[in-house]
Amino acid sequence: MTLDRDAIADRLAAAGYIADRDLATALWLMEMLGRPLLLEGEAGVGKTEVAKALARVHEAELIRLQCYEGLDQNAALYEWNYQRQLLAIKAREGTGENADDIEEHIFSEKYLLERPLLAAIRRPTPPVLLIDEVDRADEEFEAFLLELLSDFQVSIPELGTVKATAVPRVVLTSNGTRELSDALRRRCLYTYVDFPDEAREARIILARIPRIDTALAAQIARMVAAIRREDLAKAPGVAETLDWAAALLALGARELAPDLVDETLGVLLKYEEDVRRVRGATAAAYVDDLVAAGT
Ligand SMILES: Nc1ncnc2c1ncn2[C@@H]1O[C@H](COP(=O)(O)OP(=O)(O)O)[C@@H](O)[C@H]1O
Ligand SMILES: [Mg+2]
């Protein structure tokens, strides 16, 4: 299925993801060129969700590899089920079966534990492979990834070489806590995912929380945009915006008011200094602006 850029954005929206033009273009190029896509940006801007939405659009399976410090090839690719292997050996003890046969048996498919990367290259229909927060893994793992992403094949000493029959769509995300290698960047298409602008954030709220009033969604988006311009320890991500919108809806709010904002700021801001900065006069002034602008 080859879609043009606008069609991709429309399909994503139908799948609950509101993309801007840069991202829609990147996803389109990813289809055209069959290359992995690296998404970089702050926490909570919607990077992980891109892969989930892409899987929904293509009705493909989503396979996720969550990266972390110390992640190694075994945990990412495959492991042997030692316990089962031991049981199998025990069961054969005293049967006179020769050691080579036993070894061949216990290093077969039956005892293989497929981990995300092997799963992704062995699926008959191409899945979406999400390699999430790749900046958390170490450089050695990154080098291994690069190799895998170059030819989509791995060799398992006991079983031989496995090559992807269908190349998966690959999305990598990074929160930028560590510089990724140039080699990995070169292998991928790249998009920086920024906080959405006000209009897009309002659309995101409506897409995710359909029961909310359009006017309230617009107010929330405008308020969040204003709050993000403050000098904060941690600017709220889209996740926090959505939590806030859900909280306001649960409280039966029809529009923002200074007290209401003050009381619910802890849903949006997660540092005491940030709450202190916005609560009170600042929040009230923003609400005044909303009223003056008629949003
Ligand atoms: N453009 C968007 N359209 C719809 N939902 C979004 C969008 N961006 C973010 N979200 C929602 O915001 C939350 C945080 O997004 P997530 O992908 O987890 O962020 P990240 O991976 O960048 O930290 C999720 O609940 C996601 O569904
Ligand atoms: Mg994420």
Mean of the per-residue pLDDT values of the chain: 94
Q: Which residues line ligand 1 (CB under 6 A)?
A: 16-18, 41, 43-49, 173, 204, 207-208, 237-239, 242
Q: Looking at residue 295, what is its pLDDT?
A: 65
Task: Give 145 Cα–ligand 2 centroid separation in angstroms.
Answer: 19
Predicted local confidence at residue 93, as pLDDT: 84
Cα of 49 from ligand 2 centre, angstroms: 7
Distance from residue 158's CA to the centre of ligand 2 (Å): 35
258 contacts 287 by C-beta, under 8 angstroms: yes
Q: Are 150 and 164 in contact (CB under 8 A)?
A: no
pLDDT in the model for residue 5: 83
3-state secondary structure at position 69: coil
- pLDDT (tens digit, 9 = 90+) per residue, 174-230? 999 999 999 999 999 999 999 999 999 999 999 999 999 999 999 999 999 999 999
Q: How confident is the model at residue 165 (pLDDT cuts 50, 70, 90)?
A: confident
pLDDT band at 1 (very low <50, low <70, confident <90, very high): low
Least confident stretch, 53-62, 123-132, 152-161, 167-176:
152-161
Confidence bin at 96 (pLDDT 50/70/90): confident
Which pLDDT belongs to residue 6? 87
Backbone phi, then psi, for 112, in 5-degree steps? -90, 130
Residue closest by Cα to atom 17 of ligand 1: 46
Q: Mean pLDDT across the stretch 81-87?
A: 95
The CA–CA distances, whole Å, from 289 to 166, 222, 284 equal 54, 10, 9
Among protein residues, the one with the nearest Cα to ligand 1's atom 27 is 49
Q: Ligand 2 centroid vs 48 CA: distance in angstroms?
A: 4
Which of the four pLDDT bands, split at 50, 70 and 90, describes residue 2?
Answer: low
Distance 216 CA to ligand 2 centre (A): 27
> Which class would CATH give 5-77+115-192?
alpha beta
Cα 73-74-76 angle, rounded to 5 deg: 65
Domain boundaries, the chain: 5-77+115-192, 198-288
Residue 152 has pLDDT above 90, yes or no: yes
Integer angstrom CA distances of residue 180 from 51, 71, 129, 172, 186: 20, 16, 19, 11, 10
Rounded to whole angstroms, what are the CA distances from 45 to 110, 183, 220, 276? Answer: 41, 25, 16, 24
Judge whether residue 30 has pLDDT over 60. Answer: yes
Task: Quote the tokens at residue 120.
Answer: 């992704």
- Ligand of minimum distance to the alpha carbon of 42: 1
Please report which confidence band the pLDDT of residue 285 belongs to, taking 50, 70 and 90 as the band edges: very high
Residue position matching structure tokens 């003056």:
292
At 265-284, the pLDDT tens digits run: 999 999 999 999 999 999 99
Euclidean distance between CA atoms 271 and 279, whole angstroms: 12
pLDDT at 294 exceeding the cut of 80 = no
Work out whether the CA dihedral 256, 258, 263, 269 comes out positive or negative.
positive
pTM for the predicted model, two decimal places: 0.92
Give me the residues paired with residue 62 across strands.
Answer: 128
257: CB partners within 8 A, 6+ apart: 287
Pocket probe for ligand 1: among 21, 49, 135, 195, the residue whose CB has the most ligand atoms within 8 Å is 49
> Residues near 117 by Cβ (< 8 Å), separated by ≥ 6?
65, 76, 77, 129, 148, 154
For atom 13 of ligand 1, the residue with the nearest CA is 239
Looking at ligand 1, which residue's alpha carbon is closest to its atom 16? 46
Roughly how many angstroms between the first and final C-alpha of the chain, as a whole number? Answer: 40
Ligand 1 atom with minimal separation from the 52 CA: 17
